[in-house]
Amino acid sequence: MAAKNEPKYFNRELSWLEFNQRVLEEAKDADNPMLERLKFLAITASNLDEFFMVRVGGLHMARKAGLRKREPSGLTPLAQLREVSKRARNMMTDLHRCFNEVVSPALATGGVRHASIDALTHEQETALFEIFSEELFPVITPMAVDPKKGMPLLQNLAMYLMVRLQPNSAKDTEDRFAIMPLARAGARIIQLPAEDGYTYVLNEEAVKKYEANWFPGFSIKESAVFRITRNADFAVQENEAPDLLSGMEDVLEERKTGDCIRLEVEASISKALLKMLCNSLPAEAENVYPVEGVLNLKDFMSMAFLEGFDELKTEAWPPQASPDVVPNEPMFGQISEKDLLFYHPYETFDPVVRFIEEAAVDPETMAIKMVLYRTSSDSAIIAALKRAAGNGINVTVLMELKARFDEARNIGWARDLEQCGAQVIYGVKGYKTHAKICLVVRREPAGVVRYCHFGTGNYNESTAKLYGDISYMTANPELGADASAFFNALCGYAQPQNFNLISMAPIGMRDKLMELIDFEISRARKGKKAFISAKVNSLVDVVLSDKLYEASKAGVKVKLNIRGICGLKPGVKGLSENIEVSSIIDRYLEHARIIHFCHGGKSRVFISSADWMPRNLDKRLELMVPVEDKACRDRLIDILNLHMADNQSSWQLKPNGSYERTLAKGAKKVRSQQVFYGQACEAIASAQKNRRTRFEPHRPDSKQG
């Protein structure tokens, strides 16, 4: 039973770090091939970068402002910083130990070798010197540093070499200092000639080897690689900015000069050089993170996809075509015939792209309206929207300029679309628009028809191959009317409407969820069957958590599949003994939001763009869409049930906040992602076989006798 004064919630930041630890465990899992393990190391490092920039950055700002307000777990900003620092240091040690002691040596055995910079062959030495002469020496310009004046402006997350120099003059004995910018990800890994396999050194190793060439007249006393992480937790001041676009451009500039909240340095750096570095940046001693071995493992992501070396990789799972989509028939006719539901990336994202591309060139298309939050760098969807605008179609795009770390790209797309004649809305004042919706309005013989796509993920063809997300396509008139009302509310001055079916945050989504949970509670209190099954990425909303606690006490069985942060404590006697929380970490990022309520045996099933967090329910424009088509609804229930049954890639959250792997003990092994991919392959193979064996008789010509 929960102690009387014990908080009912886990700390959000520590819960996120536990999520990232589960990602790291995939890198440590001996059952995964080595390049797959390298990929998970890179993901762990990348996740930590964003965590420090945003979450730790925000805590630093709160501490500097003197805020002492306790969050739901009872910790002040200062207490959170201390706990987060301790946990993050352990994680970084674990991360680099895994690379240094396990993954890198095993890759070398498999033919991917990190050469010792001091033990190169003559051929390798010659090749490296040529690279230095042609690509490094002409490009890299050292920056002099005066310790009394501080550092020049250094880029966030970029790598640098700090050099301590001694003049070769008896009259001048004062040390000099310089900083050398190192290559970013694309040029960091330098391949060298080798008889077999793939042999490489790192850019910083090559620069160190030849560093004396940049400083004639000086001796190198010491040099060390370092990397800074700046606070990026800045938001546009919408009441002060002349317009949102210029306000977002100001935010991008602010990030360039944010405080240094993490300084990663080579562990071998001397105390004197480290002190000088900290004073010049400046960086507080408590924010220094010494690293044994290679810094910035995020850059190794590209190596995880080296050509060849199939024995070091997982089996490829190319997305499969959906058997519900006929390749050569227009999407509109197929959606009119029946609702379509896809589970990406097991099923390809192509039907969604086709839907928009066909609308863009269809003379019967009257309007295309959609929300874009994150897109790919070479977006086919953006290209289709530009084409549609050029064809005279009324194109309205809500381009969310406040999508963190995608702001610059979205500003560029917004300007491109405007130049092509599209109407572009730069988000909604005071909120982020995170809904995943596209509406196509067509003129048809029977009248005007509205076709909708609702999703749980972004309109991004690249991430659609990596993220587990739901797409739902329908010509349901009520959902079409709701979609129109949604865009009218966002793009004009219309007040939000009472929707027929959908729920929208921040106005009605939480209330709808509470209403549905209350219905389960009332059923349970009458001794009737009641359950809630939900899959979301994060759960930290206190109001919803309290309602789920109430449901548990009433006897409602609650199963939650929460990939990342979970503030709710499951399995606590007297509080949450009827709540189970699991988390799946596998080759694809779990990103779908699916919710299933028993509802007296009349299942209510929803997909949503929103996680169960205050930011989603109060500060973002989100959608929760009921799926009432029986075939689509039943499939979503099957998807949920299979994820809940996973006993290979799933972790169970314990009442003390720790996670344990959910492993099969005598039961059938179920790895949900593998099953979903197998089902997708079987479904399309079966559909193709049926199409091949269909008999179409020749019919006599009616004109012949």
Catalytically annotated residues:
434
The dihedral through the CA atoms of 25, 30, 35, 38 has a sign that is: positive
Tokens of 489: 């509310």
Distance in angstroms (rounded) separating the CA atoms of residues 274 and 588:
40
DSSP label at residue 130: H
Which residues face 266 on adjacent strands? 291
Question: Is 22 known as a binding-site position?
Answer: no
- Mention every residue, 6+ apart, whose C-beta is less than 8 A from residue 417: 382, 385, 386, 389, 395, 397, 399, 424
70 phi and psi angles, rounded to 5 deg: -85, 135
Question: Is 391 known as a binding-site position?
Answer: no
Distance in angstroms (rounded) separating the CA atoms of residues 687 and 289:
55
Which residues face 572 on adjacent strands? none
Question: Is 467 known as a binding-site position?
Answer: yes
Q: Does residue 258 contact residue 229 with C-beta atoms inside 8 Å? A: no
Tokens of 647: 């006993």
Q: Does residue 206 contact residue 189 with C-beta atoms inside 8 Å? A: no
Distance in angstroms (rounded) separating the CA atoms of residues 52 and 233:
9
Q: Does residue 306 contact residue 112 with C-beta atoms inside 8 Å? A: yes
Distance in angstroms (rounded) separating the CA atoms of residues 664 and 643:
14
Question: Is 90 known as a binding-site position?
Answer: no
Buried b / exposed e along 281-316 (16+ C-beta atoms within 10 A): bebeeebbbebeebbbbbbbbebbebeebeebbeee
Question: Is 459 known as a binding-site position?
Answer: no
DSSP run (H or E) holding 271:
helix 271-280
Residue 640 CA neighbour count, 13 Å, CB half: 25
Distance in angstroms (rounded) separating the CA atoms of residues 632 and 34:
38
Q: Does residue 127 contact residue 201 with C-beta atoms inside 8 Å? A: no
Distance in angstroms (rounded) separating the CA atoms of residues 255 and 444:
50
Ordered DSSP codes for 537-602: S-B--HHHHHHHHHHHHHT-EEEEEESS-B-B--S-TTTTTTEEEEEE-SSSEE---EEEE-GGGS
Q: Does residue 425 contact residue 396 with C-beta atoms inside 8 Å? A: yes
Buried b / exposed e along 388-401 (16+ C-beta atoms within 10 A): bbeeebebbbbbbb
Nearest in space to 345 (alpha carbons), one of 472, 473, 469:
469
Distance in angstroms (rounded) separating the CA atoms of residues 344 and 436:
14
Question: Is 374 known as a binding-site position?
Answer: yes
Return the amino acid letter for 289: Y
Nearest in space to 277 (alpha carbons), one of 291, 259, 292, 264:
264
Strands (E) in 58-217, as ranges, are 112-114, 143-145, 159-167, 176-181, 189-192, 198-202
- Mention every residue, 6+ apart, whose C-beta is less than 8 A from residue 523: 529, 530, 556, 598, 600
DSSP run (H or E) holding 398:
strand 394-399
Return the amino acid letter for 523: R
Distance in angstroms (rounded) separating the CA atoms of residues 566 and 12:
7
For residue 192, CA distances in Å to 195, 203, 242, 305 come to 10, 12, 52, 18
Distance in angstroms (rounded) separating the CA atoms of residues 89 and 440:
50
Provide the H-helix boundaries in 374-508: 380-390, 407-419, 477-491
List, as residue ranges, the binding site: 47, 374, 404, 467, 563, 591
List, as residue ranges, the binding site for Mg(2+): 374, 404
List, as residue ranges, the binding site for ATP: 47, 467, 563, 591
